Chains A and B, each alone.
Chain A
């Protein structure tokens, strides 16, 4: 089917009529949090802390200028710790009309926390963002490393969606065991961290790719997603992609999405709302992800 034909057959579901794909620009404003999560000692290393503070201090203003220039709304997932450390951040994001989402308090991998620790972190983050004026409807687990309990916390606290699990490239309805939420699946291939992030210590990545190669890869992905009618959810970190050459590549990618004319650029909350009302989307239960392996077949814990 040609792209034009695909666009014409698009129904009134999660994907707006006349569009071949949807693009949600998500920015994970991690700043210092993921490094401190590797060890509080890193907080005493000014080189590291400067590398991370570049995100909210330099990267975010540039990204806001880019989005204003192109008149686009985006979704920013902000750890509570980052919102406290950079008190102007959430206000600036909200003031520019963007969505602010939940990204934990301390950027710990929820799958490594106890139930009580996870709940405490989750609620603390929500309190910080709400005190700063955000209407939080979405959540992304740090490093996508949710626990089996995380989606239920998202539902219990009245959030509409999460963007964490990777078993699809279109929205779906997730039965958390404590109510239904919408899942907007991200994809490691559209995560700038894997392309650009490097530090000697802690080890956050081994290689720094050329923005031109990343741009071509992501543009090809977006074009392929138009062919396959997908939801494209790049995860962009301001401390990573706020650098000039990477931001230029990101601008070119977004301009490509605007030029082809059949990509709906929406916030996470907007796609989640459309998905919630689309009866044709798959419904999947979180509990069904666990295969309950037989220990005699899989003896390694």
Chain B
């Protein structure tokens, strides 16, 4: 780790193997689950259901085609419920040789579930993946809302990484009672939901940006993260980013990243494997803040 390091790469960046940054493309395939977790009444709301079904009919195949065109890896996070209802999700993702990872069973927020309920949901999702022949390496909490117990569950069930906490822009290690979990931190600023999601109801967002502005946000972050030796983990929901203009915006972004020549594209499993071999990673606890009694309340 001498001759290929960029001058600005921070200590603890052996996992980058000489690249200036790592680009992780992550694609949640929530379909209806993320809306039903807000309210089962949306099952009878044809707009909401059709908006989510776009993912199956067009969005997912189109994103997989884009990845194939450019020869890029990606990690797909699908709730177990979605995998059961739409068998074509696993067929498409696994058929194209991509990584399929754990994204809960129901897409309910773990932080809003009881401990037993969360465990049952977590196990049920593992069962669905197992029946598909998938032993997932990693997990992403629904709505990036892990509970105090979630990372411990990830460790207990032998998954190597999580991608739910936002405490860094480089991989780090989270210590749990059942052992270490590699955290591959996401970031709201690198999520298409904040750029593209809008429905009359439920309230899932307030604006729809044009793709050239959304991808400018991500491109600026990409160029800057190269000076910090970090990871750019982009999250593209197939029901949002599978639209034609957004797919072509991603194509331009990915082509730009490839042209930089110092950015390496990895899927999450590959990034976690590299991070696991890096002795320089930072250790952190699950970040919980216990307020002392008597503290003045707002």
**Do they bind each other?**
yes
Residues of chain A having any CB pair with chain B under 8 Å = 109, 111, 141, 143-148, 150-151, 164-169, 185, 187-189, 191, 194-195, 206-207, 213-214, 216-218, 220-221, 223-225, 227-228, 230, 282, 286, 289-293, 295, 297-301
Q: Tell whether, in the assembled complex, residue B47 and residue A164 are in contact, meaning their CB atoms are under 8 Å apart.
A: yes
Tell me the chain B residues, 246-269 only, with Cβ under 8 Å from chain A. Answer: 246-249
| B40 to A: closest C-beta gap in Å | 4
B105 within 8 A of A: yes
Given A220-B210, A291-B36, A293-B36, check contact A146 B44 (CB 8 Å): no
Separation of A223 and B47 alpha carbons in the complex (Å): 26
Q: Can you list 30 contacts pairing A with B, beta carbon distance less than 8 Å?
A: A111-B45, A141-B47, A144-B200, A145-B45, A146-B46, A151-B46, A165-B50, A166-B50, A167-B50, A169-B243, A187-B243, A188-B199, A191-B208, A194-B207, A194-B208, A206-B207, A213-B213, A214-B210, A216-B212, A217-B245, A218-B210, A220-B212, A220-B248, A224-B245, A224-B247, A292-B43, A298-B37, A298-B108, A299-B40, A300-B40
Separation of A150 and B47 alpha carbons in the complex (Å): 11
Nearest B residue to A222 via CB reads B245
Separation of A250 and B62 alpha carbons in the complex (Å): 28
B4 within 8 A of A: no
| B29 to A: closest C-beta gap in Å | 15
Give chain A residues whose Cβ lies under 8 Å from the Cβ of B105.
297
Q: Tell whether, in the assembled complex, residue A168 and residue B58 are in contact, meaning their CB atoms are under 8 Å apart.
A: yes
B44-83 contact mask (Cβ, 8 Å, vs A): 1 or 0: 1111011101100110001000000000000000000100
B85 within 8 A of A: yes
Q: Tell whether, in the assembled complex, residue B212 and residue A217 are in contact, meaning their CB atoms are under 8 Å apart.
A: yes
Q: Tell whether, in the assembled complex, residue B198 and residue A225 are in contact, meaning their CB atoms are under 8 Å apart.
A: no
| B239 to A: closest C-beta gap in Å | 9
Q: Tell whether, in the assembled complex, residue B244 and residue A167 are in contact, meaning their CB atoms are under 8 Å apart.
A: no
B178 within 8 A of A: no
| CB-contact partner of B245 in A164, A188, A225, A282, under 8 A | A225
| B184 to A: closest C-beta gap in Å | 28
B162 within 8 A of A: no
Nearest B residue to A289 via CB reads B49
Nearest B residue to A215 via CB reads B210
Separation of A225 and B243 alpha carbons in the complex (Å): 9
| A141 to B: closest C-beta gap in Å | 8
Give chain B residues whose Cβ lies under 8 Å from the Cβ of A230.
244
Nearest B residue to A148 via CB reads B44
Q: Tell whether, in the assembled complex, residue B47 and residue A166 are in contact, meaning their CB atoms are under 8 Å apart.
A: yes
Q: Tell whether, in the assembled complex, residue A111 and residue B39 are in contact, meaning their CB atoms are under 8 Å apart.
A: no
Separation of A173 and B57 alpha carbons in the complex (Å): 14
| CB-contact partner of B40 in A188, A194, A298, under 8 A | A298
Q: Tell whether, in the assembled complex, residue B200 and residue A145 are in contact, meaning their CB atoms are under 8 Å apart.
A: yes
Q: Tell whether, in the assembled complex, residue A167 and residue B207 are in contact, meaning their CB atoms are under 8 Å apart.
A: no
Q: Tell whether, in the assembled complex, residue B36 and residue A298 are in contact, meaning their CB atoms are under 8 Å apart.
A: yes
Interface centre among B37, B57, B201 (most CB of A within 10 A): B57
B106 within 8 A of A: yes
B196 within 8 A of A: yes
B283 within 8 A of A: no
By the criterion of a CB under 8 Å from any partner CB, how many residues of chain B are at the interface? Answer: 45
| CB-contact partner of B41 in A168, A282, A301, under 8 A | A301
B211 within 8 A of A: yes
Separation of A285 and B68 alpha carbons in the complex (Å): 31
B32 within 8 A of A: yes
Q: Tell whether, in the assembled complex, residue B244 and residue A224 are in contact, meaning their CB atoms are under 8 Å apart.
A: yes
Separation of A295 and B209 alpha carbons in the complex (Å): 35
Nearest B residue to A226 via CB reads B244
Give chain B residues whose Cβ lies under 8 Å from the Cβ of A290.
43-44, 49
Nearest B residue to A295 via CB reads B40
Separation of A192 and B221 alpha carbons in the complex (Å): 28
Give chain B residues whose Cβ lies under 8 Å from the Cβ of A282.
57
Q: Tell whether, in the assembled complex, residue B50 and residue A289 are in contact, meaning their CB atoms are under 8 Å apart.
A: yes
Separation of A214 and B212 alpha carbons in the complex (Å): 10
Tell me the chain B residues, 223-256 only, with Cβ under 8 Å from chain A. Answer: 243-249
Separation of A213 and B212 alpha carbons in the complex (Å): 9
Q: Tell whether, in the assembled complex, residue B244 and residue A221 are in contact, meaning their CB atoms are under 8 Å apart.
A: yes
Q: Tell whether, in the assembled complex, residue B200 and residue A147 are in contact, meaning their CB atoms are under 8 Å apart.
A: no
Q: Tell whether, in the assembled complex, residue B62 and residue A217 are in contact, meaning their CB atoms are under 8 Å apart.
A: no
Separation of A285 and B10 alpha carbons in the complex (Å): 55
Separation of A143 and B11 alpha carbons in the complex (Å): 53
Q: Tell whether, in the assembled complex, residue A220 and residue B47 are in contact, meaning their CB atoms are under 8 Å apart.
A: no
Q: Tell whether, in the assembled complex, residue B51 and residue A167 are in contact, meaning their CB atoms are under 8 Å apart.
A: yes
| A263 to B: closest C-beta gap in Å | 13
Give chain B residues whose Cβ lies under 8 Å from the Cβ of A109.
200
Given A165-B50, A167-B57, A168-B54, check contact A220 B43 (CB 8 Å): no
B284 within 8 A of A: no
Give chain A residues whose Cβ lies under 8 Å from the Cβ of B38.
300
| CB-contact partner of A301 in B40, B46, B206, B211, under 8 A | B40
Interface centre among A144, A168, A191, A293 (most CB of B within 10 A): A293
Q: Tell whether, in the assembled complex, residue A217 and residue B210 are in contact, meaning their CB atoms are under 8 Å apart.
A: yes
Separation of A151 and B41 alpha carbons in the complex (Å): 19
Q: Tell whether, in the assembled complex, residue B200 and residue A143 are in contact, meaning their CB atoms are under 8 Å apart.
A: yes
| A157 to B: closest C-beta gap in Å | 18
Separation of A292 and B84 alpha carbons in the complex (Å): 13
| CB-contact partner of B248 in A111, A150, A227, under 8 A | A227
